Structure 1
């Protein structure tokens, strides 16, 4: 196991504030929370070699594990595909970073898109290639080079795993075509830790330490995207996972469905805490459709 890197200066990596008190500890890994921008981040960071080795076993490569993941993510895949299809009059070119088993690639491919994937797990990348026949490279987004641009880049539950998310977002901004769209889906775990308390949070491994290096509020994500050069962002709630365990599935469907309806009814102004966010971003202002507001009952 690689030794964690010590902090280079005691400052928030997003806003530079020195006010970053301890927030939470899980499995010997310590998280801080910036008082200014509310970003939660792991410090010290594990080394890059450790993280790349860690993710080789992050996804199950058994047939049963693959099927279970597909069922769990099916509502998320469908909702994201519908949203992106509504933004583009015709299919284009799409990159899915951290594509896993390739379920989202397959869905967009079925809708006529030209797709490409990146996936650190060699086993999952091979399964994604078999599923789609598309180019799926087993390497990090930091190491990847792209000879052509994309209309859409997606990251489902990836941004929280990246040691330097701002530099990756800048790279992605550079490979999007004019009018292109970035879609990010990421957890919002910090409110749950405060709700259930650190002891239960550690038992449930809510931060999945050391996998999750960051936890973003909608405001922190918006700030980071603006710093990376995106001109317009919109955060909403879009689809909810279908966990394997029945009780967790019922909770997810009820809470997630309620939260999604609340976001839709308020035009995205009300985002319930603890529910995974979806943020759309574009380098061109006016590119993203605005959600329709409804009167509050």
Structure 2
């Protein structure tokens, strides 16, 4: 039995994609959001890979951070910045270097400890438990975080409280609405069915933000990382397709920036 949509409550299903490990992706016929069933419930606080992988591939993840920071700087140039899911602090370092005053929230205890060791105020807890004052930040940044959140309305309400008037929330998201996911189907590595509750497209996430009191101000499509070398012939083909898709605006990742709508900020 499939439960009703976690977001709008509808029992109408538009389509089902069979994924790995007995999981499926279903699209709601009412709100259009795609989610994983059964709903995953992952534990992030003590999983080693959430910080070890960052350290092993530091150069690569720093490059990701700089790319995301370029998008952040295109909509906000300074002020107080909070990163939700800051891991070992690579993005915080880049943002601080660019002139932001930075804070972080990170569920993984060891990753949070590493970030704190860089003299950052990083709180090892859920966002709601972090204790930041209302209207504290000019920008809240989340990279591949929102797809893990079951209650989107509650979470975005918490973000809204933290933002100053005119503040921005900026997210980086994988999306199955791209050439590579359509080519790879259930083998697309962005599904992560044991962890990802939601699978957003730029359209569906823009609707979620709009329904929760935000105005979307900018969306940019790109692609997730696909190595050209070393790789199999198929891997090289996928990498080349991913790069072409990004140029065409059909990549499997996007950045989105939104601000609290004027009527909600009153």
2:168 matches 1:181 = yes
Deviates more, 1:30-39 or 1:163-172: 30-39
Aligned match of 1:39 in 26, 33, 52?
Answer: 33
**Is this contact kept in 2: 1:116–1:135, CA < 8 A?**
yes
Deviations 1:23-66 (A, max 9, x none): 3232123332223443211233245xxx3x3452163544xx33
Instruction: Please report how far the alpha carbon of residue 72 of structure 1 lies from its aligned counterpart in structure 2 after TM superposition.
Output: 2.3
Q: Which residue of 1 aligns with 2:49?
A: 59
Larger displacement relative to structure 2 (156-165 or 138-147): 138-147
Aligned residues: 257
1:98-117 alignment runs, 5 A limit: 98-117=85-104
Task: Give the equivalent residue in structure 2 for 1:77.
Answer: 65
Q: Tell me, yes or no, if structure 1 residue 222 matches structure 2 residue 199.
A: no
Indicate which of 235, 250, 256 corresponds to 1:272.
250
2:7 equivalent to 1:19: no
C-alpha distance in 2, partners of 1:245/1:128?
31
With the length of structure 2 as denominator, give the TM-score of the two structures.
Answer: 0.82
CA 59–140 in structure 1, closer or farther in 2 if over 3 Å, else same: farther
The change in CA–CA distance for 1:242 and 1:151 in structure 2 (over 3 A counts) is: farther
- Report the Cα offset of residue 251 of structure 1: 6.2
Measured against aligned partners, the alpha-carbon deviations of 1:154-182 in whole angstroms (never above 9, x if no partner) come to: 00010111111232112101211111111
Q: Distance in 2 between matches of 1:127 and 1:169?
A: 27
Q: Which residue of 1 aligns with 2:216?
A: 232
Partner of 2:260: 283
Partner deviation per Cα, 1:3-24 (whole Å, 9 max, x = no partner): xxx96xx432334432225332
Distance 2:130 2:38 in 1: 25
Q: Who is 2:154 aligned against? A: 167
How far did 1:215 drift? 0.3
SS of 2:193's partner is coil
Give 1:81 shift.
1.6
Greater fraction strand? 2
1:68 corresponds to which residue? 56
Deviation track 1:110-154 (CA, whole Å, cap 9, x = no partner) reads 122110111111111111122x31111111224333115100100
Does structure 1 conserve the Cα–Cα contact (< 8 Å) formed by 2:176 and 2:201?
A: no
Distance 2:71 2:190 in 1: 28
Q: Is the Cα contact below 8 Å between 1:72 and 1:241 reproduced in 2? A: no
Change (3 A) 1:197 1:254: closer
Q: 1:254 to 1:97 in 2, by over 3 A?
A: same
Normalised TM-score (structure 1): 0.75
